[in-house]
């Protein structure tokens, strides 16, 4: 069988539901937790001085109903280091979300996969090693739509020249594909 195992009624390992008269359980699917690892190698995210934030789509989900259970990031970031840009003295905020950064705060859907992670000032190279469950864990529902994973960055404070942040490492995503019956 494929990744989705179907049991006919009567062959279920144990009763799953007890339906009332007139209702019958006709299918029982096991849907396994999906585990996807994204490996980033020198992925550069431009940050303009006018906006002071940047974003890059690193993956797209299938067009189906998704229940995102969690994510783990193990990334190294290197600041661009251009004078008056993102230098070692500049802190950088990093988040993963289902929408691209639209401001420097990195909140809401800009950080609904991995909450904002603060990389300290003082280093040209820093790490993001975090699990989404480290903050208050919340399942993220993605309803039957074109959805993506965005790596969002924002330097702490204004920069006066365009610069970038380069990432290498892994992002692990854990989710259930709930199917696409309608749509």
Structure-block tokens of residue 62: 């299938």
pTM of the predicted structure, to 2 decimals: 0.83
User: Cα separation of 172 and 137, whole Å?
Assistant: 16
Answer whether residue 7 shows pLDDT above 50: no
pLDDT tens digit sequence for 16-28: 567 778 787 676 6
Q: Which fold has domain 33-179?
A: Jelly Rolls (2.60.120)
The alpha carbon of 22 is separated from its chain's Cα centroid by a whole number of angstroms, namely 42
User: Cα separation of 177 and 76, whole Å?
Assistant: 29
Answer whether residue 161 shows pLDDT above 80: yes
The residues near 66 (Cβ < 8 Å, ≥ 6 apart) are 141, 142, 147, 175, 176, 177, 178
Answer whether residue 35 shows pLDDT above 80: yes
Answer whether residue 49 shows pLDDT above 70: yes
**Residue whose pair of structure tokens reads 């789509």 in the numeric block:** 57
pLDDT tens digit sequence for 75-127: 999 999 999 999 999 999 999 999 999 999 999 999 999 999 999 878 999 99
The alpha carbon of 91 is separated from its chain's Cα centroid by a whole number of angstroms, namely 21
Domain spans of the chain, in order of start: 33-179
Answer whether residue 10 shows pLDDT above 80: no
Please give the average per-residue pLDDT across 55-70, as a whole number.
Answer: 89
User: Cα separation of 24 and 143, whole Å?
Assistant: 27
The phi, psi pair for 109, rounded to 5°, reads: -75, -5
Structure-block tokens of residue 155: 């330097």
Lowest model confidence (mean pLDDT) among 64-78, 137-151, 154-168: 137-151
DSSP state of 110: G
Structure-block tokens of residue 128: 């993001």
Lowest model confidence (mean pLDDT) among 9-18, 50-59, 119-128, 172-181: 9-18
| 159 touches 143 (CB < 8 A) | no
What band does 183 get if pLDDT is binned at 50, 70 and 90?
Answer: low
């Amino acid at each position: 069988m494929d990744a989705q195992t179907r049991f006919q009624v009567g062959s279920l390992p144990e009763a799953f539901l007890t339906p009332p008269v007139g209702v019958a359980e006709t299918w029982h699917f096991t849907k396994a937790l999906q585990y996807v690892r994204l490996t980033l190698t020198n992925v550069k995210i431009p940050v303009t001085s006018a906006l002071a934030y940047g974003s890059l789509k690193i993956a797209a989900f299938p067009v189906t109903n998704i229940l995102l259970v969690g994510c783990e990031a193990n990334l190294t970031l290197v600041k661009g280091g251009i004078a008056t840009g993102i230098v070692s003295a500049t802190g950088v905020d990093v988040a993963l979300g289902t929408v691209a950064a639209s401001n420097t705060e990195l909140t809401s859907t800009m950080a609904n996969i991995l909450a904002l992670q603060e990389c300290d000032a003082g280093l040209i190279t820093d790490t993001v090693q975090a699990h989404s469950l480290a903050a208050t864990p919340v399942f993220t529902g993605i309803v039957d739509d074109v959805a993506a994973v965005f790596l969002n960055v924002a330097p702490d404070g204004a920069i006066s020249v365009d610069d970038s942040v380069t990432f290498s490492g892994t992002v692990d995503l854990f989710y259930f594909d709930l199917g696409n019956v309608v749509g």
